Amino acid sequence: MVSGNIQNANSTFLRESTVMKIHYITGLGALFVVAVHVMMRLVVPFSTSLEYENVINNYRILWYALLLEIILVLISIHGFNGLRIMLIELRQNAMWEKFVTIFTLAAMLAVIGYGTRTIIIANGL
Amino acid sequence: MEAFRKNESENLRANREGLKGWLNPTRYGWERLSYWLMRLTGLFLLLYFVGHVYETSSLVGGIDAWNSMLALTQTPGGHLFLILVIGTSTFHSANGIRLILAETARGLGKPGRPDYPYDAVSLNNRQRSGIWIALVLAAAAMFYGGSILFGGE
């Protein structure tokens, strides 16, 4: 008997080693797609690239809208899992870990939902 | 048993430095600085990302809503903020690659006999150079970003 703070390994949804693999894969994936996203801003003069018509035209291109959705999903997973890791480093007990996991999952889904709404509406403008 | 648990819990609490320990970059050398910067840049980038998702949603409100939101970034302060985003994202990416390599045991060397003064073989200059490269790349990216944002193109 070491402590009551250690959770039963079978009670977790995913092993932490699997979560870390997801963290690394989403990080590397995000690095690649964000690079394409930034390049799209630099193929025309920077000030022109942010004009309303230019941005809307970008959203109307299906592959670019899909790219934005991929960026949204990858960074949301990576970012909120990173936040979860930091919060769990600060304090460890079963209730806190459960709260942090639920909170970060909910926040991640909310950001993905809100961003997807923008992409879908802007794609149809 | 109850007394033992209470005593153990108090000991755990007394030994825990919490946020103060987490924020202290002065101990444990370059790796600690890297640990600290990785978390601070990660938090900053997450906040920026959520703000960016909200900011771009102004597109659906039409050209006036977009232009008024865009005006916030078209100031010297807005440009400096974006330069900070460029620097932090570059450091976070480069240092993240170093951490992935370390996780897969690349650049850490082979474990040796623990002789005095017990320097860990894994904390060597080869993997540590990744931290310095990340810092240099971040500075270069900030310089390049600044030249575009303040270049008036």
- Predicted pLDDT at B66: 92
Query: For position A2, what pLDDT does the model report?
Result: 42
- What's the burial of B83, exposed, middle or buried (CB within 10 Å: 0-12/13-18/19+)? buried
Chain B CB contacts of A52 below 8 Å:
59, 63, 66-67
Range of the domain at B98: 30-149
B2 lies in some domain: no
Q: CA A52, CA A108: separation in Å to the nearest integer?
A: 28
Q: Please tell me which of the candidates A3, A72, A83 has its beta carbon nearest to residue B46.
A: A83
* Nearest CB to A27; choose among B56, B96, B149: B96
Partners of residue B148 in chain A, C-beta under 8 Å: 42, 46
Is residue B106 situated within a structural domain? yes
Tell me, yes or no, whether B17 lies in a domain: no
pLDDT at B29: 80
Counted domains in chain B: 1
Taking an 8 Å cut-off on Cβ atoms, the answer to whether A125 and B59 are in contact is: yes
Contact A114 B57 (CB under 8 A): yes
- The pLDDT of residue B152 is 61
Residue B54 lies in a domain: yes
Look at residue B105 and tell me whether its pLDDT is greater than 90: no
User: For residue A8, what is the DSSP state?
Assistant: P
Q: How far apart are CA A82 and CA B46, in angstroms?
A: 9
- Percentage of chain B lying above the pLDDT 70 cut: 88
Which residue ranges in chain A fall short of pLDDT 50? 1-7
ipTM of the complex: 0.87
pLDDT tens sequence across B4-42? 766 666 666 666 777 777 777 677 788 888 988 999 999
Instruction: In whole angstroms, give the CA distance from residue B133 to residue A4.
Output: 42
Amino acid at A102: I
> Is residue B5 one of the residues assigned to a domain?
no
CATH number of the domain that B72 lies in? 1.20.1300.10
Nearest to A72 by CA among A18, A114, A122, A123: A114
For every residue of B51-107, DSSP letters joined together read HHHHHHGGGGG-HHHHHHHHHTTSSHHHHHHHHHHHHHHHHHHHHHHHHHHHHTTTT
Is residue B14 included in any domain, yes or no?
no
Q: Is residue B4 part of a domain?
A: no
Closest-CA distance of chain A to residue B89, Å: 9
3-state secondary structure of B153: coil
Domains annotated on chain A, with CATH: 15-124 (1.20.1300)
Best mutation target among B8, B17, B53 (most A Cβ atoms within 10 Å) is B53
Asked if A111 lies within 8 A of B53 by C-beta distance, the reply is: yes
A112 CB-near residues (< 8 Å, 6+ apart): A72, A73, A76
Report if residue B42 sits inside a domain.
yes
Question: What is the pLDDT at residue B12?
Answer: 62
